[in-house]
A = this chain, B = another copy of it.
Amino acid sequence: MENQVTLVQKTVVLTPDGATERQECLAIEEPYTVALNDREIGTSMVLATALEEFGAGFLFGQGYITEPGQVREVLVCPEGRISVHADVEEGMEPREVIITSGCGGTGRISREMLEGAFEPLAECTITFAEIRAFIRQVLQASPLGLETHCVHGCGFWADGRLQAHYEDVGRHNAVDKVIGAILLGRFSPRGAIYTTGRLTSDMVLKCARIGIPIVMSRTAPSSLGLAIARRAGLTLAAYARPERLNVFHAPERIV
């Protein structure tokens, strides 16, 4: 069953010349509680799509799940609960937690994760023709962004095609849905991710942790987002459009 994710609202458009009525489309933001092995970890405001992926990705972002293969089952209850069952060690509490500038669900990373080392990334390249197809397909597949101006889109490209595409009220949540799909075994992280949101530290960090070699945004990175990309050795491209992009680190993967 598809959840309703938008609603239409009558508004009054005011200009110095007077008032007219206009319908606007709003994104529906709802609280969902994520539980890991029957223990509630947190409640997040989301766009209620791809909630299995979101549940897994959310727990990865918070540091409870660390790699594909750990998730056994995800059950979504439409009353607002996502129950993830996973083979993880008990007591995986992140220690010192940093609240991030992230427009998105997770909003918290541990200082340990921020300062830790990364596994080497898999070999991976992408061509310009692929980037063009990738970005066009993500933007076409994200009608809610244009309709509501209140959601971010995020897509994943590997093996010459768009593997997945998600939207959410938070730029983080949309990325978490992609990472959740990786955790659920839908595709490998060896590819490129494209987000319509900014690449602040926490956004780049989760891509680096799951092992995505190419990270692209429609808009800008922050200083710390770039610093993490450098440490992880991943390709960071910003202002990415079908015909051009600015590479801030590791351009050699774009061929």
Q: Which residues on A are within 8 Å of B, measured CB to CB? A: 7, 9, 11-16, 19, 22, 24, 26-31, 42-46, 96-108, 111, 114, 128, 148-150, 168-171, 173, 197-198, 200-202, 219-226, 237-239, 243-248, 251, 254
A45 and B103 CA atoms in complex are apart in Å by 12
Given known contacts A223-B26, A225-B29, A201 and B101 CB-to-CB distance under 8 angstroms: no
A243 and B12 CA atoms in complex are apart in Å by 14
14 A/B residue pairs, CB under 8 Å, sorted by A: A14-B247, A15-B243, A31-B111, A42-B98, A43-B111, A45-B99, A45-B101, A45-B202, A101-B105, A107-B108, A149-B198, A150-B198, A150-B200, A169-B198
Which B residues are CB-close (under 8 A) to A107?
A: 99-100, 102, 107-108
Asked if A104 contacts B105 (CB within 8 A), the reply is no
Given known contacts A12-B247, A14-B254, A44 and B98 CB-to-CB distance under 8 angstroms: yes
A200 and B173 CA atoms in complex are apart in Å by 14
Asked if B103 contacts A245 (CB within 8 A), the reply is no
Of listed A30, A100, A111, residue having the most chain B CB within 10 A: A100
Asked if A45 contacts B149 (CB within 8 A), the reply is no
Cβ of A28 to closest chain B Cβ, rounded Å: 4
Asked if A11 contacts B170 (CB within 8 A), the reply is no
Asked if B27 contacts A243 (CB within 8 A), the reply is no
Which B residues are CB-close (under 8 A) to A114?
A: 31
Of listed A101, A222, A248, residue having the most chain B CB within 10 A: A101
Asked if B102 contacts A251 (CB within 8 A), the reply is no
Given known contacts A12-B251, A14-B244, A45-B100, A26 and B108 CB-to-CB distance under 8 angstroms: no
Asked if A219 contacts B103 (CB within 8 A), the reply is no
Partner of A26, one of B42, B226, B239, B254: B226
A127 and B229 CA atoms in complex are apart in Å by 47
Which B residues are CB-close (under 8 A) to A170?
A: 100-103
Asked if B247 contacts A99 (CB within 8 A), the reply is no
- Look across to chain B and name the residue whose beta carbon is closest to the beta carbon of A197: B103
Asked if B99 contacts A42 (CB within 8 A), the reply is yes
Given known contacts A96-B43, A149-B220, A246 and B13 CB-to-CB distance under 8 angstroms: yes
A173 and B28 CA atoms in complex are apart in Å by 23
Partner of A46, one of B16, B24, B101: B101
